[in-house]
């Protein structure tokens, strides 16, 4: 071959290698790099006025508690183990400002509304429940009974939720009035011993008419995932009286057979006229421990140009969005004054209720309707696990609550906020007919999340703020199903999930409150839809 051609070829190959190295080098510099600092400035400013929606601080809870204790004529106790027959300060929570006053303040037309707390006292000694408003905060000076104003009637003490103080007595009652008497049955059927206890799970409602306080309690093995280890014993506890000495067992169900008293069950069991359950060890199928150790790290997302959102106290800024947030011990998480491009589109978006309705052939789940807000939803918003419950790089926020406790409690990292790629473009179009063109938009959205573990269920609550101006309220249920011990006729009410275990048929209902204020305060849904 001609040596000139050879040299030209060698030079060409060299040149193309160098050109490739240079081009790759240039383009590598353009690839995003992690930046801890925000590269682009925030589009809006934090709003101090969002404080009207802020949860009470630790100091405010303490001030309200102290103020109520100073009212010695009310004779209130804050002890955790306060008995149902005594007066117990059950709840302190923010009293939301009236919308009109809050709006005027937010829009700079009037001074800040007086900050107030709602206080709920269970007056076991007087037989009723009272709700007070304590104000002003900080440094409360007065309280007002708002029970009639808010509920239009007196609230009987039987309407209260079960407190830890009452649970202590309930477990003691089962121990002394049921377990001790049935020791032979419990040992033979469930391998029960003081070290190998049975756990109680209650069903609701506690009766079928107002004033009832009779609760079917099902028993489960004391192991991880107890909710799917029912043993086949259910007891109807009558705890209507605030005096626990007057509580009774009204009925029992053992292995599908009903008994009117503990003594009757004991008698018939000893006589051998009862179809017995013979203890058999159950597999640890409900365990939370991973079956295999996870060794690999999944994909992670990172903030290439720093976080595009910012949180100051209870106010969030994110691209064109801004909103205030809070967490009610009873109803759960909520956001207020949600603005897009500085226009208020939602006054309030909040979790209100999570109901689950069950079916079963056994009394435990036959009538069951859990209305979670009656126990409290937000109170169960516990710490979120970094990298599992929320992305590793999310921002985590503490909350403080005062409910069924002797003092306010800090729930570390119980809210998380993060921006995330949602895994699909927000919109896209590819045109190949008259024109060849493509247009798409990355779907990166801000997620505001809490997770509440209420008994067996863990509800994962998300409010998601999209760049299109849409807000989504989303809930996902996980945790454990509720189950019953399998007996004749059970399979009409669910599916068998383990050897003697029925996963009961049920439905979930979730309620959110959405107060839309698109283009003004008086927008209604149809109005909104047709205005486009």
Ligand X SMILES: *[C@@H]1O[C@H](CO)[C@@H](O)[C@H](O)[C@H]1NC(C)=O
Rounded Cα distance between 274 and 488, Å, is 15
Nearer to ligand X, 224 or 243 (CB): 243
What is the smallest separation between the CB atom of 173 and ligand X, expressed in angstroms?
A: 13
Which residues, at least 6 apart from 381, have a Cβ–Cβ distance to it below 8 Å? Answer: 327, 332, 333, 399, 411, 414, 415, 450, 451, 452
Rounded Cα distance between 146 and 371, Å, is 24
**Helix, strand or coil for residue 363?**
helix
Which residues, at least 6 apart from 75, have a Cβ–Cβ distance to it below 8 Å? Answer: 87, 125
Rounded Cα distance between 226 and 201, Å, is 9
Determine whether 457 is an active site residue.
yes
| 3-state percent helix, strand, coil for the chain, nearest multiple of 5 | 25, 35, 40
Q: Using an 8 Å Cβ cutoff, are 485 and 232 in contact?
A: yes
What is the smallest separation between the CB atom of 242 and ligand X, expressed in angstroms?
A: 9
From the list 113-121, 215-223, 241-249, 450-458, the region that binds ligand X by CB under 6 A is 241-249
State yes or no: residue 287 binds ligand X (CB under 6 A). Answer: no
Nearer to ligand X, 241 or 352 (CB): 241
Catalytic residue among 254, 457, 459, 493: 457
What is the smallest separation between the CB atom of 244 and ligand X, expressed in angstroms?
A: 8
Nearer to ligand X, 101 or 250 (CB): 250
| 180 burial via Cβ count (<10 Å: 0-12, 13-18, 19+) | exposed
Nearer to ligand X, 88 or 457 (CB): 88
| Crossing angle for the helix pair 262-271 and 183-190, to the nearest 10 degrees | 60
Rounded Cα distance between 143 and 133, Å, is 6
Among 243, 267, 312, 468, binds ligand X (CB under 6 A): 243
From the list 202-210, 240-248, 350-358, 425-433, the region that binds ligand X by CB under 6 A is 240-248
Nearer to ligand X, 245 or 437 (CB): 245
From the list 113-121, 238-246, 341-349, 379-387, the region that binds ligand X by CB under 6 A is 238-246
Please, what sign has the CA dihedral across residues 251, 253, 259, 265? Answer: negative
Q: Using an 8 Å Cβ cutoff, are 67 and 140 in contact?
A: yes
Q: Using an 8 Å Cβ cutoff, are 402 and 330 in contact?
A: no
What is the smallest separation between the CB atom of 85 and ligand X, expressed in angstroms?
A: 6
Nearer to ligand X, 125 or 514 (CB): 125
What is the smallest separation between the CB atom of 504 and ligand X, expressed in angstroms?
A: 36
Q: Does a cis peptide bond (omega within 30 degrees of 0) precede residue 165? A: no
What is the enclosing helix (H) or strand (E) of 495?
strand 494-498
Which residues, at least 6 apart from 191, have a Cβ–Cβ distance to it below 8 Å? Answer: 279, 281
What is the smallest separation between the CB atom of 239 and ligand X, expressed in angstroms?
A: 13
What is the smallest separation between the CB atom of 75 and ligand X, expressed in angstroms?
A: 15
Distances (CA, A) of 187 to 192, 248, 274, 279, 328: 5, 23, 16, 8, 44
Among 246, 287, 468, 511, binds ligand X (CB under 6 A): 246
State yes or no: residue 496 binds ligand X (CB under 6 A). Answer: no
Binding mask 72-91 for ligand X (x = CB under 6 A): -------------x------
Q: How far is CA 68 from the centre of its chain?
A: 29
Nearer to ligand X, 125 or 422 (CB): 125
Determine whether 372 is an active site residue.
yes
Q: Report the alpha-carbon angle 300-304-306, nearest 5.
A: 110
What is the smallest separation between the CB atom of 246 and ligand X, expressed in angstroms?
A: 5
Size of the site for ligand X (CB under 6 A): 4
State yes or no: residue 245 binds ligand X (CB under 6 A). Answer: yes
What is the smallest separation between the CB atom of 72 and ligand X, expressed in angstroms?
A: 21
Binding mask 40-79 for ligand X (x = CB under 6 A): ----------------------------------------
| 195 burial via Cβ count (<10 Å: 0-12, 13-18, 19+) | exposed
Nearer to ligand X, 147 or 241 (CB): 241
From the list 45-53, 114-122, 124-132, 243-251, the region that binds ligand X by CB under 6 A is 243-251
Catalytic residue among 372, 389, 404, 517: 372
Nearer to ligand X, 239 or 379 (CB): 239
From the list 14-22, 103-111, 239-247, 267-275, the region that binds ligand X by CB under 6 A is 239-247
In the numeric block, which tokens belong to residue 305?
A: 């140009």
Rounded Cα distance between 198 and 183, Å, is 12
Nearer to ligand X, 237 or 415 (CB): 237
What is the smallest separation between the CB atom of 360 and ligand X, expressed in angstroms?
A: 34
Within 10 angstroms of residue 491's Cβ, the number of other Cβ atoms is: 12
Instruction: Give contact residues for ligand X (rule: CB under 6 A).
Output: 85, 243, 245-246
The residues assigned a catalytic role are 372, 457
């Amino acid at each position: 071959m001609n040596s000139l051609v050879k040299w030209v070829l060698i030079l060409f190959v060299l040149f193309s290698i160098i050109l490739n190295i240079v081009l790759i080098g240039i383009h590598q510099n353009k690839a995003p790099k992690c930046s801890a600092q925000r590269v682009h400035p925030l589009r809006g400013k934090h709003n101090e006025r969002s404080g009207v929606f802020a949860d009470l601080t630790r100091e405010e809870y303490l001030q309200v508690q102290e103020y109520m204790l100073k009212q010695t004529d009310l004779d209130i106790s804050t002890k955790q183990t306060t008995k149902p027959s005594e007066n117990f300060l059950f709840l302190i929570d923010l009293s939301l400002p009236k919308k009109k006053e809050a709006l005027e303040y937010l829009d700079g037309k009037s001074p800040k509304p007086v900050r107030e707390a709602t206080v709920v006292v269970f007056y076991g000694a007087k037989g009723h429940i009272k709700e007070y408003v304590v104000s002003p905060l900080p440094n409360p000076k007065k309280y007002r009974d708002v029970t009639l104003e808010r509920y239009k009637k007196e609230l009987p003490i039987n309407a209260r939720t079960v407190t830890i103080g009452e649970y202590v007595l309930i477990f003691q009652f089962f121990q002394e009035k049921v377990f001790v008497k049935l020791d032979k049955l419990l040992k033979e059927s469930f391998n029960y011993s003081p070290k190998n206890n049975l756990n109680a799970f209650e069903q609701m409602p506690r009766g079928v008419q107002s004033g009832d306080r009779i609760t079917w309690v099902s028993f489960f093995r004391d192991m991880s995932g107890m909710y799917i280890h029912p043993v086949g014993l259910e007891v109807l506890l009558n705890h209507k009286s605030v005096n626990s000495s007057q509580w009774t067992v009204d009925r029992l169900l053992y292995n599908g057979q009903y008994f009117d008293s503990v003594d009757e069950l004991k008698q018939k069991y000893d006589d051998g006229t009862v179809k017995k359950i013979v203890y058999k060890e159950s597999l640890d199928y409900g365990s939370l421990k991973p079956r295999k150790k996870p060794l690999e790290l999944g994909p992670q997302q990172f903030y290439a140009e720093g976080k595009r959102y910012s949180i100051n106290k209870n106010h969030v800024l994110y691209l064109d969005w801004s909103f205030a947030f809070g967490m009610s011990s009873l109803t759960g998480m909520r956001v207020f004054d949600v603005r897009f491009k500085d226009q208020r589109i939602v006054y309030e978006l909040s979790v209100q209720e999570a109901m689950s309705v069950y079916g079963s052939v056994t009394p435990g789940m036959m009538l069951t309707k859990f209305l979670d807000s009656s126990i409290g939803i937000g109170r169960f918003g516990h710490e979120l696990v970094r990298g599992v419950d929320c992305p590793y790089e999310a921002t985590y926020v503490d909350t403080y609550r005062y409910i069924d406790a002797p003092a306010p409690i800090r729930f570390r990292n119980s809210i998380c906020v993060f921006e995330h790629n949602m895994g699909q473009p927000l919109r896209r179009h590819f045109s190949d007919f008259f024109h060849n063109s493509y247009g798409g938009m990355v779907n990166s959205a801000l997620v505001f999340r809490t997770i509440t573990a209420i008994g067996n269920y863990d509800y994962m609550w998300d409010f998601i703020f999209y760049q299109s101006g849409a807000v989504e309220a989303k809930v996902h249920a996980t945790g454990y199903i509720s189950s019953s011990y399998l007996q004749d006729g059970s399979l009409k009410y669910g599916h068998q999930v383990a050897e003697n275990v029925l996963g009961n048929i049920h439905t979930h209902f979730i309620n959110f409150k959405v107060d839309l204020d698109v283009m003004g305060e008086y927008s209604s849904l149809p109005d909104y839809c047709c205005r486009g």
